[in-house]
Structure 1
Amino acid sequence: IDPRKTETAEIASAHHFIVPGSDAYLLLAMLQLMFERDWVNAGHLAPLLQGVETVRELVAPFTLALAQERTGISAAVIEAMTEKLVQTPRAVFYGRMGVSVQEYGALCQWAIQLINLLAGNVDVVGGALVPNSAAGYVKPGERGAGHFNRFQSRVSGLPEFGGELPATVMAEEMLTPGEGQIRAMLTLAGNPVLSAPSGQQLDQAFEGLDFMVSMDIYINETTRHADYILPPTSALEHDHYDFAFHRLAVRNTARYNEPVFEPEAGALHDWEILNQLSQKLGDHKGIDVKMFPAPSAIVDQSLQQGPYGKHNQRGDDALDLAALREHPHGIDLGPLTPSLPQRLCNEEKNIRLVWQGIADDIERLRIASPPQQQGKLLLIGRRHVRSNNSWMHNSHRLVKGKPRWRCLMNSKDMHEHKLADGDDIVISSRAGEVQTEVEQSDDVMPGVVCLPHGWG
């Protein structure tokens, strides 16, 4: 399901275009149909679910007819997809970037997990399973439970999530006068002027700061504003363990990468730079500062405390960094296996399906007016494999050749706008405008244009 026929859609048995940003209507209609047809069967997790009837009431207004009107996918197709999903053993519903970076992103991800849960496809082989990651293993008793809306941004009042504010407020927090206005900035290996929303406004905001420091190996659209650029070692000069993706993997694995090259004399890793900055600030303020240990020490400790380490009485087979280093290509720790309810971290050992923020968002969606798109085109993004947002733009070898910044447009829209392949076009929105070239492609649905992220 995608407004563009992606590389994944190319190998699928079926692909259906969907109006960008309308995914929540599709997902809630599928849930509503599951309740209406009595297709709900959560299997061994059913006794743990709290709030099933509340979910039934919340999704009741989201009919197949409403989903068809808002998404452009026929009611018959939605009904057939839902039935096939709930009746197929070892099925799973998956959605990532496209359903996340939109107005109802959190609601979409919630609904996807609810569909998997209520179809009996969570914590079963072939469905959605939780990895047993060798390091960073999440288990009951862990510190650091997430939080939301403990504080808000100064200007727009947007809520924090896990201690972070949305990138959309960065520029206004620098540009809007008053108590708490950001006047200094430290950036780490980021290029928000090119990759964050309202890049032109961010460009202006960074230019107006009193002081700015960037930790980066490149001078780019963002770091050019810095008073100081502190270059850390490059990716090939330091070690690496991927905490994030081993915790999201479809198989339990562990791999530690040694540096490929020795750093030049005097070069510092990013954690060493942060330690020195922290120490200087501590000295200036007269406070003690706890230094970061080397990342390898953190990896070793995490491995020892993980499910395969000595703290879990693995004996001679216990995994630590020394053992992992003996396997430079990584270790296969086996397939994902069911692990609930043991892995549930709340005291009640249940799965709470609804909380107030979700209920509020469902009501907001229910009363939302249909978008007025007559005569307008909807813009979506995409990652280009040779650009990858903008990470590779500083390597001429990777970005040379044919233009990769072209905007894809359906042949029907090309005809209506009297455009030919390669013509220059201007894309305008409330945030500004960019000029690019157009490329005819029926891989995007009519009424939608698709621009690679990281250009402009």
Structure 2
Amino acid sequence: AAAPVETFDDFLFGRLLGAALANPVSPAFGCDPQAAMDALGSDHGPDRLIDLLVRTGPYGDGFGAVPDGLSLDLLRENPHGIDLGPLEPRIPEILSTEDGALDVAPAQIVDDLPNLAASLDDPVPGVVLVGRRHLRSNNSWMHNVEVLVKGRERCTLQIHPDDAGRIGVADGETIRVTSITGSVEAPAEVTDAIRPGVVSLPHGWGHGVAGTNLSVASTRPGVNSNVLTDPGEIDPLSGNAVLNGIPVELAAV
């Protein structure tokens, strides 16, 4: 059987508290563990964890070690914020490189430049897909807030007028987008803000999948752009998935 949520909460709390009390740069370094636990209380949930992180952070009160330091109670007493003074530079002391400088041309990247140059001779796909974000979306976590998702459709396929005319689709009509891994259908947003040969679909959508427990988001599900990405395509240097420049075919529905 799954462990109660409180058990995980206590485990996480204990790990964070132990690490903070053993951290020489924390204002709570060397604090008595029982005194710290008494100060934080025994209630489970995010408030206790936030209070712990605030009080053991660089501006925290260290459970009394720094009388003017921050705590969750102090932040609540100042809902408009607390002025902590001007920003202070932390470079170069926080750099972990041997020479204390930023390496803007790592050997791994420089050595791979010939491969990049050679790729310029590769055949150019007819149409490629790129992603995009929206200010009122922020990936997906804002999609379940009614005030942020109301209004016009935002999960649209942006397409240049030339490409829209070529496949015979008008603004607002449905386009089928197909890659080697899958296919999705989305309303067209015909715009000259995107160049010919490129279409754009926002990521973070696709809330119509069975088991999605988002009552607001499921009413405006959109489509999952990850259906079109190839899990076998990765950036050889970083290991990141290739999420842009995906060759696709378009068709009016």
Q: Shorter-chain TM-score category?
A: 0.5 to 0.7
Residue 389 (structure 1) shift: 2.6
Per-residue CA distance 1:392-429 (angstroms, 9 max, x = gap): 34445643443222211111222222221122110011
Tell whether 2:171 aligns with 1:437: no
Please state if 1:341 is matched with 2:75.
no
* 1:327–1:353 distance in 2 versus 1, CA, 3 Å: same
Matched, 1:327 2:78: yes
In structure 2, the CA distance between the partners of 1:275 and 1:438, relative to structure 1 (3 Å rule), is same
Partner of 1:299: 54
Q: Which amino acid in 2 is paired with 1:357?
A: Q
1:357 aligned to 2:108?
yes
Q: Deviations over 1:119-167 (max 9, x none)?
A: xxxxxxxxxxxxxxxxxxxxxxxxxxxxxxxxxxxxxxxxxxxxxxxxx
Partner of 2:128: 378
Taking the aligned partners of 1:382 and 1:317, their CA distance within structure 2 comes to 44
The answer to whether the Cα contact below 8 Å between 1:406 and 1:452 also exists between their aligned partners in 2 is yes
Amino acid paired to 2:198:
V
Whether 1:274 aligns to 2:30 is: no
Q: Match of 2:177, SS?
A: strand
Q: Is 1:309–1:320's contact at 8 Å kept on the other side of the alignment?
A: yes
Q: Percent identity?
A: 36
Aligned counterparts of 1:390 and 1:315: Cα–Cα separation in 2: 39
1:106-125 maps to which residues of 2 (within 5 A)?
A: none
C-alpha change, 1:425 and 1:352, in structure 2 (3 Å) is closer
Cα-to-partner distance string for 1:170-210 (whole Å, 9 max, x where unaligned): xxxxxxxxxxxxxxxxxxxxxxxxxxxxxxxxxxxxxxxxx
In structure 2, what is the Cα distance between the partners aligned to 1:352 and 1:411? 43
Distance 2:122 2:7 in 1: 49
- Aligned equivalent of 1:424: 174
Partner Cα separation in structure 2 for residue 347 and residue 401 of structure 1? 53
- Where do 5+ consecutive residues of structure 1 fail to align? 1-212, 214-227, 231-267, 280-288
Question: Once the 2 structures are TM-superposed, how far is the Cα of residue 433 of structure 1 from its aligned partner?
Answer: 0.6
State the Cα RMSD in Å.
3.7
What is the correspondence of 1:139-288 to structure 2 with a 5 Å cutoff?
272=6, 274-275=8-9
- Paired with 1:297 and 1:424, the residues of 2 have a C-alpha distance of 50
SS at match of 1:331: coil
Match of 2:160 in 1: 410
Partner residue in 2 for 1:368 = 119
TM-score by length of 1: 0.32
Q: Is the 8 A contact 1:275 1:291 kept in 2?
A: no
Cα-to-partner distance string for 1:201-234 (whole Å, 9 max, x where unaligned)? xxxxxxxxxxxx9xxxxxxxxxxxxxx8x9xxxx
Describe the SS at the equivalent of 2:78.
coil
Asked whether the 8 Å contact 2:159–2:198 carries over to 1, the reply is yes
Gaps of 5+ in 2: 18-47, 206-221, 224-253
Q: Distance in 2 between matches of 1:420 and 1:439?
A: 8
Equivalent position SS for 1:358: helix
Q: TM-score, normalised by structure 2?
A: 0.53
Alignment partner, residue 8 of structure 1: none
In 2: Cα distance, 1:309 partner to 1:327 partner: 15
